[in-house]
Amino acid sequence: MQECQEIAGKFRELCELCKSPAEEIKKKNNLLVVSHVDADGLTSAAIVCTALDRCGLDFQPKFFRQLDEAAMDAVADHGADLVIFTDLGSGMIQQICDRGLLAVVADHHKPAICEARPLAHINPHLVGADGATQLSGSGTSFLLARALANAPGSNDDLAALAMVGAVGDLQDMAHGHLVGINRHILEIGSLAGAVSFSRDIKLFGRQTRPVYKMLEYCQDPYLPGLSGNEDACIAFLKEVGIRLGGEKWRRWIDLSQVEKASFVTAVLRKGLRSGISNVKLERLIGEVYVLLGEQEGTELRDASEYSTLLNATARYGHAGVGLQVCMGDRDRAFSEAQRLLGQHRSNLVNGLKLVRERGITTLKSIQYFDAGDAILDTIVGIVAGMSFQMADRSRPILAFARTAEGGLKVSARGTRDLVRSGLDLADALSRCARAVGGVGGGHNVAAGATIPPQAKEEFLALMDSMVGLQLSS
């Protein structure tokens, strides 16, 4: 009860922080919305842009892979009356203020320690909430959009996009459901009739994938004899008595409740026989989020599939396509997003194949692989997370990839078990990148950095030492 009251208090604090900047925003016309190129960044931008559009304000969106000095120069050169940073900015407050920008920062990453103050800084960490699990960038943006509403509750439908962003940032994974301030936003969206939530299978593709494909691609937990084996998954479903379909393969949403129960029971039994712990098997079941305004059987109906579709646009330089989908385009933009999604899936498969061929190097406290220019720097972090299926889960994994500008991108991924043991990748990457002349940040379980290519070995040594200290303490 006390924890619920504390979260409610933090929710109210953040809502109060949004009121004053919302009034200032409404007085401006030449607005620039700056955001990140992932699902949380796209939904953050879409939420704010939709709110501005409903207010009749002029705005222009701009997306960046990382908010570094070059990006800050581009923002400053735009000459906007006011800049709204969403899902980034908290690590660059000093640089924002040094350029004299009138700015509102709505972010959820760990803020950098500095004396400078923008017009407004809205971040869960500033009220004692965890930005990795309790509020996403899109959630913070939703609170700002709610304050921008012309009438109370008129922007509450945007909570559905906030759920997509939170799920895209994996904020539901630690507990099997959304918690903290995210929970308040979920309830707002539910009351608005925009999103529903229930306990169901957590395997990816409930709306669009054939059931055997859901099982084949299951990696958390990894199911020996099934994960990665298409023929075995088809045989397993037949053994359970689940009809696969005729001309069209049946999806999870096509199964009856009896078939779904049989499937879950059979998978749990097989997992136990394979020696998988109950704790890991429990990850198969959790809370899922359905966007009620979207067509059933499409990627947009399920928050997890929606977020993957968005990643397939922005990470390949097509953030505008993803933004248009978020803002309601179900024709040309949606078709283009689906095409990009097919390309994205192919690239991830090829990325995993590359990691298998090149292997993963293990140090004392970390492990890593270097993709060079064979994997795009915008998706190497996703490949890193997926690589845990072949890696040591007792160490965080780092992935290196060359950027188009000639820098070296570092993406780091951990597990919730490692975080509980003291891992904080955001702190480690930020400190180690800064020590070698780079910049980094993120969350305790997932973070990124850009460093000079020649500093790779020094950076690895520093990371190995720092992660070792975190886990030993």
Whether residue 1 is predicted with pLDDT greater than 70 in this model: the reply is no
- Of 313, 329, 345, which residue is a domain's last? 329
> What pLDDT sits at residue 389?
73
What's the burial of 260, exposed, middle or buried (CB within 10 Å: 0-12/13-18/19+)?
Answer: middle
State which residues form the domain around 109: 2-166
172 belongs to a structural domain: no
- Of 148, 166, 184, which residue is a domain's last? 166
Same domain, 211 and 113: no
> What pLDDT sits at residue 81?
96
Asked whether the whole model's pTM tops 0.85, one would answer yes
Quick count: other Cβ atoms within 10 Å of Cβ 376?
Answer: 21
pLDDT tens per residue, range 263-272: 999 999 999 9
**pLDDT band per the 50, 70, 90 thresholds, residue 107:** very high
Average pLDDT over residues 146-155: 96
User: For residue 392, which amino acid is it?
Assistant: D
> What pLDDT sits at residue 270?
92
107 belongs to a structural domain: yes
> What pLDDT sits at residue 200?
96
Is the sign of the CA dihedral 319, 322, 327, 332 positive or negative? positive
The answer, yes or no, to whether the previous bond of 221 is cis (omega within 30 of 0) is: yes
Placement of tokens 């803020």 in the chain: 111
- 193-198-201-204 Cα dihedral, nearest 10 degrees: 30
Estimate to the nearest angstrom the gap between the alpha carbon of 208 and the chain centroid.
20
18 belongs to a structural domain: yes
Estimate to the nearest angstrom the gap between the alpha carbon of 321 and the chain centroid.
18
Whether residue 219 is predicted with pLDDT greater than 80 in this model: the reply is no
344 belongs to a structural domain: no
- Which segment of 79-83, 315-319, 321-325, 443-447 scores lowest on mean pLDDT? 443-447
Whether residue 220 is predicted with pLDDT greater than 80 in this model: the reply is no
CATH number for the domain harbouring residue 133: 3.90.1640.30
What percentage of the chain exceeds 70 in pLDDT?
100
Q: Directed axis angle between helix 257-273 and helix 230-240, to 10°?
A: 120
> What pLDDT sits at residue 18?
97
Average pLDDT over residues 225-251: 89
Same domain, 292 and 364: no
Same domain, 402 and 449: yes
Same domain, 227 and 146: no
- Of 166, 190, 221, which residue is a domain's last? 166
386 belongs to a structural domain: yes
Same domain, 379 and 289: no
183 belongs to a structural domain: no
pLDDT tens per residue, range 263-304: 999 999 999 998 888 878 888 999 999 999 999 999 999 999
- Which segment of 33-37, 40-44, 68-72, 136-140 scores lowest on mean pLDDT? 68-72
Whether residue 228 is predicted with pLDDT greater than 90 in this model: the reply is no
Total domains, the chain: 3
Query: Do 281 and 272 contact (CB within 8 A), yes or no?
Result: yes
> What pLDDT sits at residue 433?
96
90 belongs to a structural domain: yes
- 108-313-347-352 Cα dihedral, nearest 10 degrees: 10
Whether residue 319 is predicted with pLDDT greater than 80 in this model: the reply is yes
**pLDDT band per the 50, 70, 90 thresholds, residue 227:** confident
Provide the 3-class DSSP secondary structure of residue 182: helix
> What pLDDT sits at residue 415?
86
Put the strands of the sheet holding 82-86 in their side by side order: 59-64, 31-36, 82-86, 103-106, 120-122
Give the closest residue to 284 by CA, choosing from 365, 349, 218.
218
180 belongs to a structural domain: no
The tokens describing 377, both together, are 């720097």
Same domain, 78 and 136: yes
Distant-in-sequence, close-in-space partners of 47: CB < 8 Å, separation ≥ 6: 86, 138, 141, 142, 145, 158, 161, 162
Same domain, 98 and 210: no
Under DSSP, the state recorded for 291 is E
Rounded to whole angstroms, the Cα distance separating 407 from 450 reads 7
Same domain, 76 and 208: no
Same domain, 378 and 468: yes
Average pLDDT over residues 424-439: 94
What's the whole-number average pLDDT of the chain?
94
Same domain, 18 and 154: yes
Same domain, 159 and 20: yes
Same domain, 245 and 113: no
